[in-house]
Structure 1
Amino acid sequence: MFESMEQQIVHACGHEQVHVIYGFDSQVARKARWLRTTKCRACFVADKKAEQTKAAARDDATIAHLDRPQLNGSERQVSWAETIRVSRLAALMALPHTSADADCGICLGIDDAKWWIDHRDLSHAEFLAQATRHLQIAGMPASGQHSEAA
């Protein structure tokens, strides 16, 4: 019989949480057994945030030697774009190639927070191509430094 069943589950972290489990009796029992082996939602979220904080600190240390210009945009855009920029620059530094500093220089020429957000899902190669294109349209050399004409 298909039904929904509310169950109080004691998770692997020791916390109790109420779950509404849908399905046939065997599915409900299997899901309840599995839930007992996992962390509760609060512990899962806390672990995820700690992981993200640790990764952000590691990425920030990787690119600490770079002079990052202030991003332009709303407060929320700048906060989100800075996270994206730090992650992207650290990833570029970690790539096994010799032009990491040049690639980062291209990226550092872009100070528009919206641009970073809009291009966050591109591959590294496509990201660099878009960054170069953006700088050329803005009249800036690909090195990320402002040209004398600008």
Structure 2
Amino acid sequence: MKLNIKYSCGHEGTIEVFGKAEERERKIKWFSEYGLCPDCYKAEKQTEEKSFAEKHELPELKGSEKQISWANKIRKELIEAFEKEKLAIRQGAGDDFADFLNGFVKDYYRKDSASWWIDHREWRTFKKDLLGAAVVAFKAQDAI
């Protein structure tokens, strides 16, 4: 059933609700108290991604508008996930490599091609590429 509602942001729109009457009422109530219209939701996410990029001193991405929008989301998710992994990496690889990795990722995260982030959107691909590049750079510094 499609219903016209007023979102918590004050905008009006149409939502589709299913299920028993109490489930439909719960969903309607949630949208009116907490839900954002699609435009406000999109703007909120873009603000979060921009704030994240500024906090981590990341460059603006290059590409089409759709690529940039998608890649910003991907970049934020991948960086947050990798930052959570650092403790396990420190325990597994040792302090020397972990300390090196902290500096290495700052440059690695600065890739400014939206298509690169899209191509590396899979967690395993991203992590393998990042750690592989870090190991090569770490070994190269020892050879000097």
Tell me the TM-score normalized by structure 1: 0.52
| Cα displacement string for residues 2-51 of structure 1 (whole angstroms, at most 9, x for unaligned residues) | xxx22111111111111121112222122111111122121111111111
SS in 1 for 2:16: strand
CA distance in 2, matches of 1:115, 1:47: 21
The structure in which a higher percent of residues are strand is 1
CA distance in 1, matches of 2:16, 2:50: 31
Q: Which runs of 5+ in 1 are unaligned?
A: 65-73, 136-140
Give the structure 1 partner of residue 101 of structure 2: 103
Asked if the contact 1:84–1:120 (Cα under 8 Å) also holds between the matched residues in 2, the reply is no
Give the structure 2 partner of residue 131 of structure 1: 133
- Once the 2 structures are TM-superposed, how far is the Cα of residue 115 of structure 1 from its aligned partner? 8.7
The structure in which a higher percent of residues are helix is 2
Asked if the contact 2:3–2:15 (Cα under 8 Å) also holds between the matched residues in 1, the reply is yes
Aligned length: 121
SS in 2 for 1:18: strand
Equivalent in 39, 44, 48 of residue 47 of structure 1: 44
SS in 1 for 2:44: helix
- Once the 2 structures are TM-superposed, how far is the Cα of residue 143 of structure 1 from its aligned partner? 6.3
Give the structure 2 partner of residue 23 of structure 1: 19
Q: Which amino acid letter does the alignment assign opposite residue 40 of structure 1?
A: C
Larger relative contact order (Cα-Cα within 8 Å, sequence gap ≥ 6)? 2
How large is the RMSD of aligned CA atoms in angstroms? 4.8
Q: Which amino acid letter does the alignment assign opposite residue 130 of structure 1?
A: G
Tell me which structure has the larger Cα radius of gyration: 1
1:8 paired with 2:15, answer no
Aligned identity (percent) is 20
Tell me the TM-score normalized by structure 2: 0.53
Q: Which amino acid letter does the alignment assign opposite residue 36 of structure 2?
A: K
Q: Which runs of 5+ in 2 are unaligned?
A: none
Matches within 5 A, 1:108-127: 108=107, 114=116, 117-118=119-120, 121-122=123-124
